[in-house]
Structure 1
C-alpha cells in the first residue's frame, strides 16, 4: 500500500513547521515543493522531503505531483502562503482533490477587485480608489480625504502599507512603492483607502463557521506591525454577532466558504468595517493562540478538510490567550538579546521565541519582518493574561548599535553608544 502524502506548495516561516507536525500526527507524509527550499530552515532541520520546483509554473507542479503519485498516494495538496493558494486550487482540481476555488482566490487576492465585490454586496468598507501613477494617487488621496492608507493592490503581511496624513507623505510613499513594484510587477497599481479609525479585530473562519474573533493592536505609526493579539476579543454578544454576520456576508460576496478565511476589521463610529479578507489561515502565532484559547487546532482541522477527512471545530475550553511581539524602535546591529529563559519560566507563558541572533542587522521595513520575537501566554481570563505578558516582556532586553552615519570615515568614526531597548506596551 502506498504511503499517504500531504503536498505543501511552499512552506511558511512561522506556521510551516506546525503544518508538517500536524500532518505527521495525522499519519501523513509531508512533502514540500518550493522554488527556494532554503528559505525554510525547518525543512532541513526536520529532514522533511523537499523538491525544488518553480511554484509559479503550474505545468511543472503538475508534472512533479504526477511523478510523486508513482510512489505515494497523494491525500491532499495545500499551502500556507497566500501567493500560491490559487495555484493550489488549480492543482487540486487537476488531481480531483478537495481544494479552494482558484477563481475566487485570485479575485480575493486582488485587493481592488475584492473591494469592488464587497461594495456591490453592501459590505461596509472604507472609501477606496485605485491608482496607476503618481498623479492619480495624489488626486485620489484628495478625493478620499486625509488621513489615507496607501498600499500595493497586491501583497500580504502589511508590506508597503502606510498611513499618510497629508499630501507630502502620500507623495513620498508613492515614490517608494512605485520604485519597488516596477521591479516585480509589469503594471503596478496602488490602492488608497480612507483610514478607518477604531479598535482592530480579526475573525478566523473555517468553511462557513466563525470560530474565533481576536483583538489586535499595532506598534509604531505610520506602519501596521502587530504589537499584540488577544483571543477572544473583549466583545459583547451583540458585537460578536455583528462581526460574525458581516464575515459570512464577505464569504458570499467573494465566493469563498471552502477551507480557512481570515477577515480583518476596524470598529468605527459606524460599526464594524472590513479592512481585508484573506482566503487562508491567519499567519504568525494566530493558530497557536486559537488552540490555547479554545482547544481548536486550526491547522490540523485544515489538513483534515484538505484530505477529505472528518473535521470538527468544537471548542474544548475557554481561556484567554495572547501574544506580545518584540519590535525594535531603531535600525542597527543587534548586540545581544536576553531574558528569554526568565520570561519562559513565568507561570502561564507558553512560548518565548526570538527570530534573530546577535550580530544580526536590524533594518526595519514597516511590516511583519520588523518583529524580532514574541511571547505567548494563556490564563483563565483577560486581565491575568495581560499581566503575564507584561511581566514576561519586562524581563526581555536587547541592545542595538546604530549603523555608522553615511559618509563618515570608518577610520575616524567615534565609538557608537550601544542603545538599550526595553519593550514598552503601547509605545508608538
Structure 2
C-alpha cells in the first residue's frame, strides 16, 4: 500500500471530509502543526495510520521544510500534501526536495499576492492597480498614487483576514494600525504563513474593483464575484466548477459558497477562460486551485487571486455534492502517480444544489448581532429556517463546541469571526439561495430561542447550562 503524509494546519478542507478520502487512497500519516480538533463526532482518526503532533511548538521556515522531509522519509511517503494556505509553500519545498509531485517551485506566486499580481500584469491577466506597502508612509504614498477607495490587505493572507478599506487620506493611519494589530493577534492563533517568516510585514494596497451583477445574473440575490474550483495536473489546469456567492459583508467577508452557478453557460465559459489564463500564468505543477474573479460592467472580469490549493471550509464538499467530482481523491491519486481523469472542461450542470455558510454574528447586510447567543447543535434546530426539501447541518470539524458564545463581528478579522460552518442542500438553486438568506438572517433569533428552552429530557440545554459551557 502506498503511503501518504498529510501536513495539517488551520484552514483548508475539513478533516472529516479530507481524511477518509486520503485514507482510502493509501496508508495515511498525519503531521499536525497545530492541535487537532475534537474527533468525537466524525471519527476521522480511524482512517490514520498514525498522527505526529508538534505539541504546540511553532515551527517555521526551513526548519518546517526539514521536519516535513524527515517525516516523509521516515515513513517512506509516496505523496506529501497539505490543504491549508499557510503550509502550502513549505509542502511545495518539501516535495521538491523529495522528488515528489507537488505545487512546484512557482508556488510562491500563488501565496505572495504582490508577486501574483506582478506576474498577471506581465501576462495580460486583468488585475486591479496596486502598490507594495511596508510602512504607513508607503500606504500614504499608495493612496496618493492610486485611485481610492483602496483595500489594504496582507500579501500572504487568506479569508479576508486583516483587511481595511481606505476611502480618505485620514483613513490611512487608523487602517494601518488596525490591520497590523489584527495580523499580530491572528498570528498568535496559528493563522499565519508557516514558511515565509517576513510575511506579517508584507502588505499591499490595491484599488477596489467596481463589481456589478448587471448583465450577469437574471435573478436577484447573488454577489458580484465567484470562484473557479479546479486542479493542476503536471502543469495542465483542469477547471471543475464555479462556486457562486451571495454579496460579501464589509470589508469583504464571505458568507457562503454555492453551486451550481446560476450564470448562463456562455457566461460561465467566459469565466472559465479568464480562470485558465490566470492559473496558467502561475506555472504550477500538481495541486488544487481556487481562483476568485470579480464580475464587472460590460461583461468584463477582473481576477482577485488564485490559490494553489482547494477552497477552504466545505467548498470541496459543495462541488462533490452537486457535480459528483471528488477533487480530494482526484488530487491525491495524481500525486501518487495514478491517473485520475479530471474533467476535460468545466462542468456547468449538476444535480440539486448545495452551499456552505458562515456561522457568524451578522445578518446578510453585515449588521452585527445585538445579542451573543450560544451555539448548541442539539437545540439549534436549524431546519426550522429552511423550505421543504432543503436540509441544513453544521460542519463538526469547523464549528465551535456546544455551549460556545458566538463572538461579536470585527471587520478586520474576516472569516475568523466565524464560529463555524453550516452546510445546506436544496432541490434547486433558486430554493438554495432563498434558504441561504433565511438561515443567515434568521440565525440569531433561532439561537436565542433555542437557548431560552428549559432543560429537556432529550438532552437540550437551558440558559443556565449554556452559560456554564460558554465559560
**2:266 is the alignment partner of 1:224:** no
Q: Give yes or no for contact 2:243–2:257 (8 Å, CA) kept in 1.
A: yes
Structure 2 residue 68 is the aligned partner of structure 1 residue 61? yes
SS for the counterpart of 2:2 is strand
User: 1:311–1:12: structure 2 CA closer, same or farther, 3 Å change rule?
Assistant: farther
Could you tell me which residue of structure 1 aligns to residue 469 of structure 2? none
Q: Is the 8 A contact 1:148 1:163 kept in 2?
A: yes
Distance 1:395 1:182, change over 3 A: closer
Q: CA deviation at 1:281?
A: 0.5
Match for residue 326 of structure 2 among 297, 301, 317:
297
Matches for 1:97-136 after TM superposition, within 5 Å: 97-101=100-104, 103-136=105-138
Whole-Å separation in 2 of the counterparts to 1:331 and 1:8? 41
In the alignment, the residues of structure 2 paired with residue 285 and residue 15 of structure 1 have an alpha-carbon distance, to the nearest angstrom, of 7
Q: 2:352 aligns with which of 311, 316, 319?
A: 319
> Which residue does 2:31 correspond to in 1?
33
Q: Which TM-score applies when normalising by structure 2?
A: 0.75
Please state which structure has a larger fraction of its residues in strand: 1
Distance 1:104 1:50 in 2: 29
Query: Which string of whole-angstrom CA distances, capped at 9 and with x for unpartnered residues, describes residues 40-64 of structure 1?
Result: 3349954342113446422222222
Aligned to 1:137: 139
1:288 aligns with 2:317: yes
Q: Secondary structure at the match of 2:244?
A: strand
Gaps of 5+ in 2: 188-196, 212-223, 362-367, 450-471
Distance 1:331 1:398 in 2: 12
- Give the whole-Å Cα distance in 2 for the aligned partners of 1:267 and 1:166: 25
Task: Quote the residue 1:23 is aligned against.
Answer: 22
RMSD over equivalenced CA pairs, Å: 3.0
User: C-alpha distance in 1, partners of 2:155/2:327?
Assistant: 28
Paired residue for 2:381, among 330, 339, 363?
A: 339
Aligned match of 1:263: 291
SS in 2 for 1:155: coil
The 1:117/1:127 distance shift into structure 2, 3 A limit, reads same
Aligned to 1:413: none
Is contact 1:230-1:322 (8 Å) kept? yes
Question: What TM-score results when the alignment is normalised by the length of structure 1?
Answer: 0.82
Q: How far, CA to CA, are the matches of 2:286 and 2:370 in structure 1?
A: 42
Please state how far the C-alpha of 1:4 moved relative to its aligned partner.
2.8
| Residue 51 of structure 1: aligned partner | 52
Counterpart-to-counterpart distance in 1, 2:386 and 2:78: 38
In 1, the alpha carbon distance for the partners of 2:387 and 2:29 equals: 35
Aligned to 1:358: 403
Contact 1:12/1:40, CA 8 A, preserved across alignment: no
Count of paired positions: 391
